[in-house]
């Protein structure tokens, strides 16, 4: 039950990150600012994605995590 709730919350957070990214990038005039915003949002979503994949189980090693 708790793992399912965590997955829902992380999924919502990932969606919010995407919406904020598009909301900031579309009106932005600076290309450098757009690139920086996209990179930061992708890094945040990557961290959230890794956490999402580790909610159900904790692999013993990085190699085991990749196999799953």
Token look-up 């996209």 returns 38
Region 1-30: mean pLDDT is 89
**DSSP at 54:** H
What's the pTM value of the predicted model, to 2 decimals?
A: 0.76
Greater pLDDT, 58 or 17: 17
- Paired tokens of 35: 């690139």
pLDDT, average across residues 18-26: 89
pLDDT tier at 17, thresholds 50, 70, 90? very high
Report CA dihedral (10, 24, 34, 29) to the nearest 10 degrees.
170
């Amino acid at each position: 039950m708790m793992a399912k709730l965590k997955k829902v919350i992380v999924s919502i957070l990932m969606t919010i990150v995407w919406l904020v990214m598009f909301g900031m990038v579309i009106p932005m005039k600076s290309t450098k600012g757009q690139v920086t915003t996209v990179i930061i949002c992708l890094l945040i979503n990557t961290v959230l994605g890794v956490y999402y994949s580790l909610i159900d189980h904790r692999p013993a090693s990085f190699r085991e995590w990749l196999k799953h």
